Chain A
Amino acid sequence: MAMTRENLINIILAVLLLAAPLAANAFGQPFYVTLATRIVILALAATGLNLALGLGGLVSFGHAAFFGIGGYAAGILATHGFSGDPLLFGFSGTNQMLVIWLVAMVVAGLVGLLIGAISLRTSGVYFIMITLAFAQMVYYFAISWPAYGGEDGLSILVRNQFPGVNTMRPLGFFLICYAVLMAVLGLFVLIRGSRFGSALQAARQNEVRVATVGIAPFRIRLTAFAISAAITGLAGALFADLNRFVSPSMLSWHMSGELIVLIILGGAGRLFGPLAGATLFVIIEYVLGGLTERWQFFLGLILLGTVLFARGGLLGLFAGKAKHG
């Protein structure tokens, strides 16, 4: 890996993100550890979307569906694990994060496969609207299905367990999330550099040429969409554990919009784009939210300015234009 300016910035970001919560913890400020955890989890969710949107050019406006499905997987498994009520086939839930993550990823991935199989038959603006509509379908289902809280959401009484870590301590949970994010970013690098990743990016740049050399873009995109959904689902499970609460708001279309915003703020298609975007977003949310109740108004202005005048996002500003690839 050549030491480009972007790689240097990436390393600085990764180190800062680890150092800040460690320092906050040492100074007895657990609130900032939780804030950093929020950054990491949102970055993870957006990294999932970045695979489809950044590499594949698939503008999914429905990734909140996978985020929420991951969250509900965690919430439902934990609820049954706590109460002992059987869930399916005599399996009565669990409070083990590793099992919950697996279930969240499998379920979100399968739903992603289903939604992708229909949505990927279309492209452009149709694709945007259809993914949005499917996410709304999941959202309304969650609201009208009363078994797991309906509109009120579902509380997780005790944060789920991870072998060898006290997850109730903010720093312990942060380190788990950070490790997951780094692992997924590693996976992103592997995918981006693989034959599959090359085909995915080529299909974004020129679909006809990819088809001409004998690669079916549909299957490549569907695979990418499902992997992307699974990663965002994993982030959803962690988000549920962070808040110890799941509600339909995780599934709302604002969430889908926010995930896209994170990517664009940071820089689409870049490895650390989502992380840079999530950091900026959470800091804006925190700082503006402290100054004014109407922080979303100013967030809107910042976002509008970014889209109109600062294309390439934060990393584009500091690390120059993205390389073709």
Chain B
Amino acid sequence: MTVALALEQLLNGLQLGVMLFLMAAGLTLIFGVMGLINLAHGSLYMVGAFACATVAAATGSFWIGLVASLACAAAAGAIIELLVIRRLYDRDHLDQVLATFALILIFSEGTRWLFGSFPLYLDIPPLLQGAVALPGGAQYPVYRLAIIAAGALVAFGLYLLIGKTRLGMRIRAGESDREMIGALGVDIRTLYTVVFALGAALAGLAGAMVGALQSVQVGMGEPVLILAFVVIVIGGIGSIKGALLGALLVGVVDTMGRLLLPQLFGLFVPPSQAGMIGAAAASMLIYVMMALILAVKPRGLFPAAHM
């Protein structure tokens, strides 16, 4: 294995991690502030991807598509918050799981109804096409580097928003004591809708950016959603910092595991079997990691203080 390959896969892992962070940040924010488990977060990711692909195809510009994905996902988030999610805050987690599971069915079939069963395709914008040379000689796509940069920017933006602004202060107050900030006269219902729409927009952004790497299709959000769950469980539910570190950890471990485990097993068993065992083991690796972390820290690496 060359250094170049390892570096390339490391960057792929980072890119996966950044995308998981965009999903996990919204999930963990929604759970932290409203105490809600939202399975339909993957549907908002899908909404973002479909909006971007459709608008980009109509206007010819990826960037307008990207803006549309943010707007559509935020709007979809705000609408389901107003119609459905709002009624679930006082319910137990079981009801939340079921209602948001129902939303997945509605979103998935609804999207198939509107767009048909065939996947859509989204081209990488001209500005970000091409590749750069990595040390070691490999070529790495600019677009993937741009995703990593975008993720880093969003992480920094979230840090500023939550740490330095009035809205962020309210969000933090909502995390520590929901009843109290309502009693202090903050319009908590609007705050909830804003937080939900913000989380939805982040998911939509992730979907739109990944849409140019994979095909845009119904069900694309579900594998990502489950990985994002692993991320926030590892990071500590309710913690944005935990979501960031958990996402990078999961992204890198998953990608490097797929590269390294088959080679590791190659030391012990014949190559024909090593590939098979290695691939199977690699697909389970992050779940094993999650189990190990939870065995030591049942509330994740950075448990939110109030829980």
- Give A residues with C-beta under 8 Å from B: 53, 59, 61, 118, 121-122, 124-126, 128-130, 132-134, 136-137, 140-141, 143-146, 253, 257, 260-261, 264, 268, 294, 296-297, 299-301, 303-304, 306-308, 311
Contacts and interface: CB of A to CB of B under 8 A. Distances in A.
Interface in B92-107: 93-95, 97-99, 101-106
B158 interface: no
Contacts of B106: 297, 300-301, 304
Decide if the interface of chain A is mainly helix, strand, loop or mixed: helix
A311 B97 CA distance: 14
A297 B110 contact: yes
B148 to A, nearest CB: 25
B38 to A, nearest CB: 11
A296 B109 contact: yes
B93 A144 contact: no
8 contacts: A126-B233, A133-B226, A136-B226, A140-B283, A143-B283, A296-B105, A297-B110, A308-B99
Contact of B294 (A130, A143, A308): A130
Contacts of B110: 297
B113 A307 contact: no
Nearest to B223: A136
Contacts of A126: 233, 237, 298-299
B94 A59 contact: yes
B265 interface: no
Interface of B: 31, 37, 84, 87, 93-95, 97-99, 101-106, 108-110, 112-113, 222, 226, 229-230, 232-233, 237, 276, 279-280, 282-284, 287-288, 290-291, 294-295, 298-299
Contacts of B101: 257, 260-261, 303
B248 to A, nearest CB: 18
B113 A61 contact: no
Most chain A Cβ neighbours within 10 Å, of B94, B232, B294: B94
B84 A304 contact: yes
Given A122-B298, A300-B106, A304-B84, A294 B113 contact: yes
A299 B226 contact: no
Closest 4 CB pairs of A and B: A300-B105, A297-B109, A137-B287, A300-B106
Nearest to B291: A118
A253 B226 contact: yes
B294 A300 contact: no
